[in-house]
Chains A and B, each alone.
Chain A
Amino acid sequence: MRMKIVITLAAVVLMFAAKTSAHHAFAAEFDSNKPIKLRGTVVKMEWINPHTWIHLDVKTPKGTVERWMIEGGPPNALYRRGVTKDSLPNGVEILVEGFRAKDGSLRGNGRDLTFADGRRLFVGSSGTGAPRDGRDKTEK
């Protein structure tokens, strides 16, 4: 019953949501039927408008290295949420989950980012400077 109420309310909230103004056309750019899960090393993060892009070296099962580009959020929004250049330094290993570019190139959007030690980026750990949510036991 509780779940039903929540779902109904969620539908109401969605109905209240205005059509998102432009920026940008996910469905035209990425393929939601092509989910990707990449483990790689950050080569660089471009803090550019209108979206950040993370460049990532990913080792393939054959031993070769592919360089991927992963789209992140707008730099202004990320900075307001406490993400800085120190949050994703070059050389750090991350796991990226997202969706591949429609044309099959080595590009995708980033939905979830996880560090090698299991911390998820942007979930409020003290290491990111993101808002604290009590999940990080080391957080003072």
Chain B
Amino acid sequence: MAIRSGVAIASLAVAGLMALPACGPPSSTAASSTTPRTAWGHPDLQGVWRYEGAIPLERPEQFAGRASLTEKEVAERRQLEQEQAAKRLAGQEGAAVGRRSVAESPIRGNEYNSFWQDHGRPRQVSSRTSLIVDPSDGRLPFTADARKAEARASARYGVGPYESYLDPDTGERCLTDGVTGMMWQGPNGGHNRIVQSPGYVTILHEEYRDRRVIPVDGRPHKNIRQWFGDAVGRWEGDTLVVDTTNFIDRTNYEWANIWTRPSESLHLVERFKRIDANTMEYTITVEDPTTFTRPWTAVIPISKLSGDTQIYEYACHEGNYAMPNLLRGGRTDAARAASSR
């Protein structure tokens, strides 16, 4: 059973986050003698990890110019998160599934009782207002074209139009939600198991059964383009640095969030560093002139779940009734529009 004391986890995480600078790159090269080691002497990152924080990727406009919340704001948010989690456990509050905004949903996002979702614990509250630490405004530095594409993706998310199997986004098609968010996002939980062996780090992501086998033996990049690119890892002190290039161009697909889409110019650098027994500082630097005007960096605190946490299968198309259902829904909408002309 993965459920455990969210308050205790939150305290640990907040303590860890308070040690972080409010802005700027992470201090990833400092070695720590307390980092556990594998039998062959590498830093031990193994276990099941999940992002359980409430920090958004981008800084909300209302906090423009502020990297941190006040102590009072943190306390208020912490109380609200705990109240909401208690309501979710009691089946009294809906999850965010299917909701694009409260205003447009007559049932206020309560299409699903949230007990259907794996959102039982209170999310960890921190003073940070965005996961993005660079640029300093905490916002994704989209190009003008990418900003239009993101606006389009947001407008059609969850509502279509769906005329073909190509119209749902990559997640609805059971493909993937992309490697950029793999370690810290997931529609049904975002659990990741890291397994190490001499020369390799393997990451198994529950959703879509995404997995990465990352060599850490000094080999160079290969030249085959793939959805998840070509990842090579190395150790810098206690930090695992994974450099990934050779992504395939899938910018023409529908993505729920276009910042996760691969293109041939994408260069992703990830840093994995344990900062205490139950927290990993996971840092991504994304460089892709196809989508962004400049590189951006996000620092994400990820929690280690209890040792008995399982990763389950996800055979996503096994029962993907959603695909025929939403195509039927699209035809119903089209017929209704035709008859009202």
Contact = CB atoms under 8 A, between A and B. Distances in A.
Interface of A: 5-6, 9-10, 12-33, 35, 46, 48-53, 69, 71-82, 98-99, 101-105, 107, 109-113, 120-124, 130-131, 133, 135
Given A48-B319, A82-B1, A111 B185 contact: no
The 4 closest A-B pairs by CB, nearest first: A22-B171, A26-B98, A73-B116, A48-B319
Contacts of B115: 73, 81, 121-123, 130
Interface hub of A20, A28, A130 (most chain B Cβ within 10 A): A28
A50 B319 contact: yes
Nearest to B101: A14
A29 B188 contact: no
Given A49-B318, A50-B174, A29 B325 contact: yes
Interface SS of B by simple majority:
loop
Given A16-B60, A20-B99, A28-B159, 17 more contacts: A12-B77, A14-B102, A19-B256, A19-B257, A20-B256, A23-B172, A24-B97, A24-B326, A26-B99, A28-B160, A30-B325, A32-B111, A49-B315, A69-B321, A80-B1, A81-B118, A102-B328
Contact of A9 (B76, B169, B256): B76
A48 to B, nearest CB: 3
A98 B111 CA distance: 7
18 contacts: A25-B157, A26-B158, A29-B322, A50-B320, A73-B116, A73-B188, A75-B312, A76-B312, A80-B2, A80-B189, A102-B328, A103-B332, A112-B91, A121-B115, A122-B115, A122-B116, A124-B89, A133-B89
B215 interface: no
A102 B111 contact: no
A13 B2 contact: no
Nearest to A129: B1
A71 B117 CA distance: 12
B115 to A, nearest CB: 4
B313 interface: yes
Contacts, number: 224
Interface hub of B98, B171, B330, B332 (most chain A Cβ within 10 A): B98
Contacts of A32: 105-107, 111
Contact of B185 (A21, A26, A101): A21
A112 B113 contact: yes
Contacts of A23: 171-172, 187-188, 207, 322
Given A20-B187, A101-B329, A123-B91, A28 B117 contact: no
A59 to B, nearest CB: 24
Interface hub of B1, B94, B111 (most chain A Cβ within 10 A): B111
A72 B116 contact: yes
B280 to A, nearest CB: 19
B75 to A, nearest CB: 11
